[in-house]
Structure 1
């Protein structure tokens, strides 16, 4: 299945003149994987040679898995292109992906990071419902919510070529499975081009890919842990981006109430305190949320629907077009504030 998607990626074409090369980095040491990818390259290159000397495929492979950062640096540094598009091998690209990115270059020639749209499937079980509720996939579709995103996931991202900014690299300190390295990478672009006073990032919602991962791999704890570790490393790598905030209910309960209760040996009092903290914070968030929603008659129906459906309001948000409740810009980030 994954090799079929890889073939679809390599079949991407632009309807306007553009010189394109594909670099496939195979960091899986299994011989059958390497041979399959090389056979794909040979067959597609031979077919393409009958048409033009464009859209050729290059394959690089390693005898060991060196991680996402190392693999991306390989393609990033081997290429001499003006712009480089990062795509994961488990995505299904939209047919007009190249046209969308080329159009974005023409509209925003000064940008250095172009963030594409990665669509996730609807939640299909309790595990994916939980991921939706905690908003862990928010930045996959950030291009649909912001014109100038702060960063974007490298599963669908276009950046200025490495020959223009060779000091920018994916760092090896981040987990091999991925997590945090994409944030760090985009922040490096922002710092590199800061003296020019330019807006570095831009969202390209027309550059769509579909990420079917949730439906196929089930529960992937290791991936989630890697994201958490990588995000935590960003705090030490970019201290100037950090800020102080009052602990939320989970932090209150597990880092303050539980240790204090264990020390004082008063479980009933601890339970009451924990329940009170959770209730108070939920009410505060709820009132803040519904005050904004009910400020306009147009939004009252959405608020009632959320009240009636309770937790399954996440499905309503996912099903709505553009992941927005209305044109006023109330995005999924605002909607999921109740469950954060």
Structure 2
């Protein structure tokens, strides 16, 4: 039986960092609400901190330990199914919540206790280096703060989101999405099923640290790219996909296939000019982006912008080829989910800038090579 005036906090954790988890466990409790905290350890070999054991034995928390690693989806599903509260608050294990987080959500519930769910805000610290500055500029952390800008949203990362158990699809998180994207899929499916978006609660705030202390996120972005291509071939997300111009890596792949033709037709010089011009135009475009959006002319930030973008696109392309989803080539997914069946070959200022730069670079290179040959 679902408990109406109750909140289940579900926290999947591999690290089981005691200090961080205690911040969540000791959140201020809103009046009139029963609060249960479910810490689900997704690490069968983890050493359980003594304090967590004590709280579990005292009945202050529910500590569940997976016998095998289930991943984020399976672990969250286990925590959700263990509780009975009407409201399920999903938090990550490395966030630092504001002490009044639950009170902010309780106030939102009092305003609309039939809502599909609520979206809190996840802040990141100030950028500490070129890598983190690039993540700010390219919008990688934007979705974490959507509740600041819109009264209702279609999805946000599971770092700080609340869902109504009465409107939960029994399938919960898709355990087949192992590279990521399970949060996008989960919230988008529920939004479309109930034709209802998530209500923003700007006052429900947490802070998330920079991943790996601000290191380059090569593997993470590559994995997110894989996840995006998987979503692009899955219902209902594939309704929001469209064909587009090839990106830098896709263009270079096409050029690789065209190498024999260039060799035998005597156009190898033009081919070489393109091979050099395509990534150079990509870098210069990101440099202009750093200047325009980030107000910095740092070459390091420009490189990090290019690196993050292309790692994501490399993961997307990798899954299209190796994952057996070749339809993902030159196919994009609108992660804003604005409308179904969006128009193909969409342009924006950065695509226009890159195209113009590419044309200029190729013309200059071809002329230079031609004059040198002469």
User: TM-score normalised to the size of structure 2?
Assistant: 0.65
Q: CA deviation at 1:40?
A: 4.1
Q: CA deviation at 1:189?
A: 0.9
Q: Which residue of 2 aligns with 1:328?
A: none
Q: Which residue of 1 aligns with 2:24?
A: 9
Q: CA deviation at 1:78?
A: 1.4
Q: Which residue of 1 aligns with 2:42?
A: 27
Q: Is the 8 A contact 2:132 2:210 kept in 1?
A: no
**Alignment partners' CA distance in 2, 1:308 and 1:77:** 47
Question: Which of 202, 208, 211 is the matching residue for 2:208?
Answer: 211
**Structure 1 unaligned regions, length at least 5:** 46-55, 290-302, 316-335
SS at match of 1:173: coil
Q: Which residue of 2 aligns with 1:48?
A: none
**Alignment partners' CA distance in 1, 2:117 and 2:198:** 5
Q: CA deviation at 1:259?
A: 3.4
The number of residue pairs the alignment matches comes to 288
**Alignment partners' CA distance in 1, 2:208 and 2:240:** 30
Q: CA deviation at 1:38?
A: 1.9
Q: Which residue of 1 aligns with 2:183?
A: 182
SS at match of 2:245: coil
Q: CA deviation at 1:5?
A: 0.8
Say if 2:48 is the partner of 1:38: no
Q: Which residue of 1 aligns with 2:251?
A: 253
Q: Which residue of 2 aligns with 1:125?
A: 129
* 1:32-69 Cα deviation digits (max 9, x unpaired): 137663234346x5xxxxxxxxxx31111112211100
Q: CA deviation at 1:125?
A: 2.7
Any runs of at least 4 consecutive aligned residues in structure 1 with deviations exceeding 4 A, and if so which?
A: 274-287, 303-308, 336-340
Q: Which residue of 2 aligns with 1:264?
A: 262
Q: Which residue of 2 aligns with 1:310?
A: 297
Q: Which residue of 2 aligns with 1:241?
A: 239
**Alignment partners' CA distance in 2, 1:25 and 1:337:** 45
* 1:78-100 Cα deviation digits (max 9, x unpaired): 11111100011111111111111
Q: Which residue of 2 aligns with 1:88?
A: 92
Q: Is the 8 A contact 1:261 1:269 kept in 2?
A: no
**Alignment partners' CA distance in 2, 1:263 and 1:307:** 42
In 2 relative to 1, CA 254–147 (structure 1 residues): closer, same or farther, beyond 3 Å? Answer: farther
* 1:102-145 Cα deviation digits (max 9, x unpaired): 12223344421311111112232333334334332221112122
SS at match of 2:199: strand
Q: Which residue of 2 aligns with 1:169?
A: 172
Q: CA deviation at 1:75?
A: 1.1
In 2 relative to 1, CA 215–181 (structure 1 residues): closer, same or farther, beyond 3 Å? Answer: closer
Q: Which residue of 2 aligns with 1:64?
A: 68
Q: CA deviation at 1:207?
A: 1.0
SS at match of 1:71: helix
* 1:194-218 Cα deviation digits (max 9, x unpaired): 3xxxx23222221111111436373
**Structure with the larger strand share:** 2
Q: Is the 8 A contact 1:113 1:186 kept in 2?
A: no
SS at match of 2:85: coil
In 2 relative to 1, CA 241–115 (structure 1 residues): closer, same or farther, beyond 3 Å? Answer: farther
Larger radius of gyration: 2
Question: Which of 119, 125, 138 is the matching residue for 1:115?
Answer: 119
* 1:231-268 Cα deviation digits (max 9, x unpaired): 22111113543232432542453233443346414554
Q: Is the 8 A contact 1:128 1:214 kept in 2?
A: no
CA RMSD of aligned residues (A): 3.7
Q: Is the 8 A contact 1:168 1:188 kept in 2?
A: no
Q: Is the 8 A contact 1:25 1:75 kept in 2?
A: yes
User: TM-score normalised to the size of structure 1?
Assistant: 0.71
